[in-house]
């Protein structure tokens, strides 16, 4: 994102403030966290906070951006314009989704904070969109839904996936990433593809 290289001090300040907010969010709700607290915890002057962020919500959104960037890495190698048809292609899709879930699991503490907040679906959807949005156009053109329906069907499938990941985190990731990845893909396609497209390999 920042084109120009960041000052060493800025890097330090931002790192400290981010860590501080995450720590505080484990203790209490964001709405009860003050800028003063964040700065005291990070041992950074409050005025410096204002030099970089508007308020705690703004800071949180930057933490979200960081996580998004990391997830993005797993998608770089994945060609989104291919609708899986062969066994090999299904395996590739499954691997990609599994990798992302593995990443969420490895960073469970932060992810639960960001993804599992019942009052904050916004971020969850952003993550899902990262994965599925490039698919959309290709998928719907192969379905038997009417044009008007397609947007809603997509919305259903996308938000549905968010719901699964939320529940998985709620259950402390009791199921394997592979199991969840399979279920995610299976349900997503069960919805987005038309009847004629239902893949035997998914059932």
Partner DNA sequence: GTTGATAATCAACACAATGTTGACAACTAA
Partner DNA sequence: TTAGTTGTCAACATTGTGTTGATTATCAAC
- In three-state secondary structure terms, 18 is helix
- In three-state secondary structure terms, 130 is helix
Tokens 């084109």 belong to which residue?
Answer: 3
164 lies in the binding site for a second copy (CB under 8 A): yes
Q: How far apart are CA 182 and CA 62, in angstroms?
A: 31
Among 19, 22, 30, 37, interactor with DNA by CB under 7 A:
37
User: Within a 10 A sphere around the Cβ of 192, how many other Cβ atoms?
Assistant: 24
Burial class (CB in 10 A: 0-12, 13-18, 19+), 190: middle
50 lies in the binding site for DNA (CB under 7 A): yes
Q: How far apart are CA 123 and CA 76, in angstroms?
A: 20
Q: Toward a second copy, which CB reaches closer, 70 or 159? A: 159
The listed partner (DNA, a second copy, none) that binds 118, CB under 5 to 8 Å by sort, is: a second copy
CB of 192 to a second copy, least distance (A): 10
35 lies in the binding site for DNA (CB under 7 A): yes
Q: Toward DNA, which CB reaches closer, 7 or 172? A: 7
The listed partner (a second copy, DNA, none) that binds 10, CB under 5 to 8 Å by sort, is: DNA
29 lies in the binding site for DNA (CB under 7 A): no
Tokens 């396609």 belong to which residue?
Answer: 189
Question: CA-CA-CA-CA torsion for 78, 109, 111, 80, nearest 10 degrees?
Answer: 10
CB of 102 to a second copy, least distance (A): 18
Binding site for DNA (CB under 7 A): 5, 7-10, 12-13, 34-37, 44-48, 50-52, 55
Binding site for a second copy (CB under 8 A): 31, 55, 57, 118-122, 124-125, 148-149, 151-153, 155-164, 166-168, 171, 175, 179-180, 183, 187, 190-191, 195, 203
């Amino acid at each position: 994102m920042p084109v120009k290289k960041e000052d060493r001090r800025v890097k330090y300040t931002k790192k400290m403030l981010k860590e501080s907010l995450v720590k505080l969010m484990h203790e209490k709700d964001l709405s009860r966290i003050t800028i003063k607290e964040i700065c005291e915890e990070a041992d950074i002057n409050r005025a410096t906070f204002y030099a970089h962020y508007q308020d705690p919500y703004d800071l949180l959104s930057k933490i979200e951006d960081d996580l998004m960037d990391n997830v993005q890495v797993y998608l770089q190698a994945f060609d989104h314009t291919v609708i899986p048809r062969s066994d090999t292609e299904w395996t590739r899709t499954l691997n990609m989704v599994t990798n992302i879930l593995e990443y969420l699991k490895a960073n469970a503490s932060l992810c639960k904070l960001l993804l599992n907040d019942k009052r904050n679906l916004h971020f969850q959807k952003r993550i899902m969109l990262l994965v599925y949005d490039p698919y959309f156009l290709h998928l719907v053109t192969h379905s038997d839904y009417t044009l008007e329906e397609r947007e809603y069907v997509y919305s259903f499938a996308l938000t549905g996936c968010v719901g699964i990941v939320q529940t998985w985190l709620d259950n402390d990731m009791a199921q394997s990433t592979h199991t969840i990845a399979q279920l995610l893909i299976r349900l997503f396609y069960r919805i987005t593809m038309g009847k004629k497209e239902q893949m035997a390999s998914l059932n």
